[in-house]
Structure 1
Amino acid sequence: MFLLAPLGVAACASADPRFFRLAIPEGTPLPGPSLQVELRQARLARYLDRPEIFRGAGATRLVLADNARWAEPLEEMTTRLLAAALTQRLPGSVVREERSALGGRLDLLASLDMSRFEVAEDGTALLQGRFALRRPGEDNALADRAVEARGAAAGAGTAEAVTAQGALLGQLADQMAAAIRALPAARRR
């Protein structure tokens, strides 16, 4: 009888975690002037500030994806990948992260707050938030926009959900790049 207790504990032990990272699909390059843009560290809603990956389960509930973790802090991964996606979409421009060791002149500061970033059980993917574009040293925004990106996961698994979230970040990068290119030339430095 005493031998069964250790077996029961071993059977309840969870499997090794599976680690996931986001990937943003390439977008359409938007020609325009060469800019130096600093992307501030993305700010995510506190419920997203954890290593576990969540799935939406109705309007008010979230559930943990089984043994699924982000490979790095989600704010850092989002910022790094979004900077690279913006650089790809703004040919000739350099978009660097706030904590980058690269120096030099700056034309714009870009900030992002995300209030939702999840995939529901039915596969619906949603990103909501705001971004702002400012000149360095100025408080007034040249652009301040609410953003919403929607999509659908190609399947019910965590890998498909993470792929859908990467596509949402691609939509966000498209919206931010278009806003940067829409700034009047006289308002750029």
Structure 2
Amino acid sequence: MAELMMLSRRAALGALLAGTALAACSSPPPKVYTLTTVPGAAAGGRPVTASVALVDIPKYLDRPQIVRRSGAVQLGVDEFERWGEPLANMVQRVLADDLATRLPSGSVVTTSRTLSGDEALTVELALNRFDPDADGTVVLEAQWRLRRKSGGRARTETARITRRPADDSVTAEVRAMSDALGELADRIAGSIR
């Protein structure tokens, strides 16, 4: 009987320790981030209708986690710092909103998911890079093409934009990414006018 009680106490102690270990291993809830529209100077002139086509991003960025470079050849991800939507879709949506604030009043900019077929031009965007360096500096390398419905030659341009976050937080990093995308919208809007 004493042996049975001893085994029972050991089992209870084992269960308590296992429960404590599981509680210690529980993960914090993920933090979810989104890029935001950055105000820009609106241009004068005739209104423009445009659409932002699907955005092409490198496969290493095509994941829910925010990717950072931790060295020349090493990438880092934190399982609990995530994007609120796929990065390509978010860039497409925010770029369309950024362009709408920069083009002449009355302009309409949509994403390819809301195409009416009447847009005067389409912006095609390929991001070669959109992530922070090991020192935290956000690097956006992009190539874009404007296709006009009226025909004519499509023009392709490139940009390399860097932004230093205000501090080391992920929030500041995402704000710097939004600022970089806003600067890209400035350049694209300038090439549309």
| TM-score, shorter chain, exceeding 0.5 | yes
Paired with 1:79 and 1:175, the residues of 2 have a C-alpha distance of 16
Matched, 1:170 2:170: no
1:141-152 pair list within 5 angstroms: 141=154, 143-152=155-164
Shift of 1:61: 1.2
- Over the aligned positions, Cα root-mean-square deviation in angstroms equals 1.8
1:41–1:76: 8 Å Cα contact kept in structure 2?
A: yes
Residue 95 of structure 2 contacts residue 185 of structure 2 at CA under 8 Å; is this kept in 1?
yes
Q: How does 1:100-119 map to 2 (within 5 A)?
A: 100=114, 103=116, 105-119=118-132
Within the alignment, does 1:153 sit opposite 2:165 as a pair? yes
Q: Which residue of 1 aligns with 2:47?
A: 34
Amino acid at match of 2:157: R
Q: Identity percentage over the alignment?
A: 36
Paired residue for 2:100, among 87, 104, 120?
A: 87
Report the more deviating stretch, 157-166 or 103-112: 103-112
Aligned partner (choices 64, 83, 92) of residue 70 of structure 1: 83
Give the equivalent residue in structure 2 for 1:46.
59
CA distance, structure 2, for counterparts of residue 175 and residue 17 of structure 1: 34
TM-score, normalised with respect to structure 1: 0.88
Shift of residue 36 of structure 1? 1.0
Could you report, residue by residue, the CA deviation over 1:50-81 in whole angstroms, capped at 9, with x for unpaired residues? 11112221221111136111111111111111
CA distance in 2, matches of 1:53, 1:139: 39
Letter in 1 for 2:81: A
Contact 1:65 1:158 in 2 (8 A): no
In the alignment, which of 105, 111, 114 is matched to residue 97 of structure 1? 111
Q: 1:123 to 1:81 in 2, by over 3 A?
A: same
Structure 2 equivalent of residue 123 of structure 1: 136
SS of 2:96 mapped into structure 1: helix
Cα pair 1:126 1:150 within 8 Å, conserved: yes
More helix by share: 2
1:147-187 CA distance string (max 9 Å, x none): 11111011111111101100010111011000101xxxxxx
SS of 2:90's equivalent in the other structure is: helix
Amino acid of the structure 1 residue aligned with 2:177: Q
Distance 2:79 2:134 in 1: 13
1:40 aligned counterpart, secondary structure? strand
Report if the CA contact (8 A) 2:65-2:79 is conserved. Answer: no
| Unaligned runs of at least 5 residues, structure 1 | 182-189
Aligned to 1:179: 191
TM-score normalized by the length of structure 2: 0.86
Q: Residue in 1 aligned with 2:149?
A: 136
Counterpart residue number, 1:186? none
Distance 2:92 2:23 in 1: 39
Counterpart AA for 1:118:
D
Question: How many residues get paired?
Answer: 179
